[in-house]
Structure 1
Amino acid sequence: MKNLKKGIYLIFVQICFLIINCHGNYTRPNASIADPYPTTFEETYPGIDKLDFLVFGDWGYQGSDSRQSVVASAMKTWADNNNTTFILSLGGILSDHSKSNNFYTSNSTDHEGVDSIYDPKWKTSWLDVYGGKLKDLVWYTVAGNHDWYTNVTAEVDYFWEIDQRFFLPSLYYVRTVTFGSKKIKASFIHIDTDPLYYPYDSLTNVDNLKATLLALGLNTPDAIESKIKWIEQQLKNVQDSKWIFVVGHHPLISGNCSSIYYMSRLPPLFEKYNVAAYLAGHVHKLEYQEVNSTSHVAYFTTGAGSKTQFEGCDGPSWFMPGGGPEGTRGFLHVWIQEDGEKLGFEFINSTTADKQPVSVYQGSLNPRALSQNVSNSYKVFPSGTLLMIIFVIVFLS
């Protein structure tokens, strides 16, 4: 009887959580997973004193040199101690790492990504690894290249058919988050960067990436241009937000990482529409490019969720060493205070089980400021003004 009451209570709490945050009432569109989700997901967290979230990518590797479980343990500690609201998962989901980086599958019979919604990796690489509060949080997800290598559609299907805590309703979607007593609004634009990063004609048929780009119609310049136009439109749509974040898999720190294929088209958009930060993985290191005289956008790379590499982006302001047994594994911890006037962040080193996880770099960002040309172009009339205009039009007619 005691277990039954506990089970009923947990179900009740889950239902309340879903209702309050607008989760669980989604309708799957009759469309390709490459079509952006048609409406914005709106979340409200009125009773919190800060918006707290963890950010990391490339976390699914489980080879002999993996530190996935150690990073997961550190994330649990941070989530428990900071009342974390959600997780941003930056791709490399349930994946093993790129052979181009000398990272192979866990064994000779393994496969990249997942093969279906019933793949055992859902349990062994996700559900069984991230415990405590991490099991209760929603993981807002984008797909990375290794998620494409077997069956990226299965990851979207998993959200719709199995567990909506693994939040991937489409390869492209937008969320707005309103939190605290002052109703601060933050917007998150989640994008799939794979079509922007890999020139279709240069790909081979070694894995499913080329075939899937073709099957989803993401293999042409026109298709890529349509996604860039969609990204720009979403940036226009959220100009009333105090904070705007873009979330993708591939990094954009200046230099080699920001000049690849169509990725170079993104930073000018981020500048134009006053994005606060771009969050990415793919490079298996912890790196950061701070706001400077030429860019008011902060760029974060946090792709060390289970393994590291020596190579990174060319121009970070700060980075932790990667590669080898002692390369830094870890994640990014971000919070926005209740009044919305400051964002704090810290990179967490959680490399080895015999050492306490430690904050190795801290910083802060100021809220975005609307540029005059953008704010004037997309200004919304106050309700009273709009009513007056309608009254005048009706009166004159």
Structure 2
Amino acid sequence: MMAKTASQMGADFILAVGDNFYYKGVTDVNDPRFQVTFEDVYNQDSLNIPWYVIAGNHDHVGNVLAQIEYSQKSKRWNFPYYYYELNFRIPQTDSTLTIIMLDTVLLCGNSDDFLDQQPKAPRSGVQANRQLLWLQERLAKSKADYLLVAGHYPVWSISAHGPTDCLLKNLRPLLKKYKATAYLCGHDHNLQYIKESGIGYVVSGAGNFMDPDMRHRNKVPKDYLQFFSGDAGTLGGFAHVEVNKNEMTVTFIQARGTSLYRAVLKKRGLFREDDNV
């Protein structure tokens, strides 16, 4: 369905926001998983476009450097470093889009999915602080009309893992201070749209399966949650993002092709602090 959507609605690139190789990542750059679960699965013409990749907690169980190195072997796999910045100009406009790709596992630490535990602490405090300082610098300098940040762990989530305490403390204030357009993530295996202070929080972790778990719904203020889909009877889903000179549209699409929910976000500077609709 991703291929059909990319063909019908258009797609210039794809973001892979972690847990690229479930359950234990890859061992080295020649691991057969690259071929079997990436190249051979996403082999349609409409998906032969750049894929921009970051690591999730399951990738960090294996060899993330091998995933970075795979960028040299694949024409479409783009994973230059643990965290990096992407800049685009919206075609036929003067509008610009910046996407800051983060490694939230290096920022917050790894976590055990079976225990649904919070990441306790980063493996290296020095490395985590370096990434956080880099992020703050990039956000402060950005003049992009649309500023997106992407990571694996959610800031807000009502599902199994819930909000990530480390990101609520360290990332959320920066997103608000520098007026980010949206934060994109995975980790919880469902589709969610949460909005706070004009910022869209997109959870799209349903590429493998759907999880209806809503155990942390009381940890997200009620008026923040706009949409949730976790029907275990479906084959998953994904989010399609379209940006034009006036607005950014996020469409959540079920694996069978049904459009489930659409959210519209304004260009930076065009929303109010209390705009939560």
TM bucket (normalised to shorter chain) is 0.7 to 0.9
Q: CA separation in 1, counterparts of 2:77 and 2:13?
A: 11
Q: CA deviation at 1:260?
A: 2.1
Aligned to 2:213: 311
Contact 2:104-2:152 within 8 A present in 1 as well: yes
SS in 2 for 1:317: strand
Change beyond 3 A, Cα 1:120–1:83: same
Structure 1 regions of 5+ residues with no counterpart? 1-73, 97-111, 204-209, 351-355, 372-397
Change beyond 3 A, Cα 1:347–1:167: same
Q: CA separation in 1, counterparts of 2:164 and 2:30?
A: 38
Q: CA separation in 2, counterparts of 1:308 and 1:247?
A: 21
Contact 1:284-1:322 within 8 A present in 2 as well: no
Q: Provide, for residues 259-288 of structure 1, a one-character-per-residue CA deviation record: whole Å limited to 9, x for no partner.
A: 423552101000000100000001000011
Q: CA deviation at 1:181?
A: 2.2
Structure 2 regions of 5+ residues with no counterpart? 113-118, 272-277
Aligned to 2:95: 184
**2:17 is the alignment partner of 1:82:** no
Aligned to 1:331: 238
Change beyond 3 A, Cα 1:170–1:184: same
Aligned to 1:223: 127
Question: Percent identity at matched positions?
Answer: 27
Q: CA separation in 2, counterparts of 1:164 and 1:251?
A: 29
**2:262 is the alignment partner of 1:357:** no
Q: CA separation in 2, counterparts of 1:272 and 1:328?
A: 37
Among 190, 193, 199, the alignment partner of 2:104 is: 193
Aligned to 2:274: none
Among 14, 18, 31, the alignment partner of 1:119 is: 31
Q: Which amino acid aligns with 1:273?
A: Y
Q: CA deviation at 1:321?
A: 2.4
**2:174 is the alignment partner of 1:269:** yes
Q: Which amino acid aligns with 1:114?
A: V
Aligned to 1:156: 68
Matches within 5 A, 1:222-241: 222-238=126-142, 240-241=143-144
Q: CA separation in 1, counterparts of 2:154 and 2:167?
A: 12
Q: What is the TM-score with the length of structure 2 in the denominator?
A: 0.84
Aligned to 2:275: none
Q: CA deviation at 1:130?
A: 1.0
Q: Which amino acid aligns with 2:264?
A: S
Q: Provide, for residues 153-189 of structure 1, a one-character-per-residue CA deviation record: whole Å limited to 9, x for no partner.
A: 1000111x31141110000100110122222110000
Contact 1:251-1:258 within 8 A present in 2 as well: yes
Q: CA deviation at 1:328?
A: 5.6
Contact 1:197-1:250 within 8 A present in 2 as well: no
Change beyond 3 A, Cα 1:227–1:328: same
SS in 2 for 1:171: coil
Q: Which amino acid aligns with 2:153?
A: H
SS in 2 for 1:176: strand
SS in 2 for 1:298: strand
Higher strand share: 2
Aligned to 1:252: 155
Q: CA deviation at 1:225?
A: 2.1
Larger RCO, structure (CA 8 Å, separation 6 or more): 1
Aligned to 2:45: 133
How many residue pairs end up in the alignment?
Answer: 255
Q: CA separation in 1, counterparts of 2:259 and 2:167?
A: 34
SS in 2 for 1:80: helix
**2:73 is the alignment partner of 1:168:** no
Q: Stretches of 4+ moved more than 4 A in 1?
A: none
Change beyond 3 A, Cα 1:334–1:135: closer
Change beyond 3 A, Cα 1:334–1:221: same
Please identify the structure whose Cα radius of gyration is greater. 1
When the two chains are superposed, the root-mean-square deviation of aligned CA atoms in Å is: 2.4
Q: Which amino acid aligns with 1:296?
A: G
Higher helix share: 1
Q: Which amino acid aligns with 1:233?
A: E
Q: Provide, for residues 315-374 of structure 1, a one-character-per-residue CA deviation record: whole Å limited to 9, x for no partner.
A: 332101244xx056100011012xx11111210011xxxxx4110111211111089xxx
Greater Cα offset, 248-257 or 229-238: 248-257
